[in-house]
Every structure is written in C-alpha cells, then in structure tokens.
C-alpha cells in the first residue's frame, strides 16, 4: 500500500473553516488521515488551551476537503498533517 504525507500551515483561523488540500494521487476512494494542532508563527506545533477539532474529511479527484473548527476568541495558526493511502483492495463492508 502506497502512503504519501504532506504538511500544510493554516494561518489566522477562527471558528468553522472549510479547507482543502490538492494532490494528484488523491481519488474518491483514497483513505485520508488528517491531524491538526496549534502552531507558533515559527511553525512549531504545541497543545494550547484552545479546542481545535477536525470534521468531514472527504477525498475527491485530486483533492481532499475538510473542516477545522477553532474554538477560541482569537485567530490561531494551525499545522495540518495529511496522510494519503491507496484505496482498500476489497469491497466496502457495510456495518449493521
């Protein structure tokens, strides 16, 4: 299984933010894992007092859309790590 990772910085975010990342290897069937944390202006990650959450990760043709919510009174800098995996080889298993 091929894996590719990327890092992106999001500056001055507050509230609910619809974001996207583009890479040619992303397909609608890709498995995409994303992590997000607060970062300094020097691009150093840390755990601060703000609640930062990730929602609605949706891969498509050449891009992945996602929502980051920054629950804080001021705009914050964020660091996002994105890992892209090949689609699973077998059928989709539906939970009951």
The string of pLDDT tens digits covering residues 8-40 is 999 999 999 999 999 999 999 999 999 999 999
b/e sequence 2-39, b meaning 16+ C-beta within 10 Å: eeeeeeeebeebeeeeebebeeeebeeebebebebebb
Distances (CA, A) of 78 to 17, 27, 59, 81, 89: 12, 25, 21, 10, 33
How would you classify the pairing of strands 63-71 and 3-13? Answer: unpaired
- Per-residue pLDDT reduced to its tens digit, 57-86: 999 999 999 999 999 999 999 999 999 998
1 pLDDT more than 70: no
């Amino acid at each position: 299984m091929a894996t590719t990772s990327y890092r992106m910085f999001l500056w001055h975010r507050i509230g609910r933010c619809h974001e996207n990342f583009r890479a040619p290897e992303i397909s609608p069937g890709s498995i995409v894992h994303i992590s997000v944390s607060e970062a300094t202006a020097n691009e150093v990650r840390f755990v601060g007092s703000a609640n930062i959450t990730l929602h609605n990760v949706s891969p498509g043709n050449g891009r992945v859309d996602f929502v980051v919510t920054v629950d804080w009174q001021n705009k914050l800098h964020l660091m996002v790590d994105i890992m892209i995996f090949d689609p699973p080889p077998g059928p989709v298993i539906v939970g009951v």
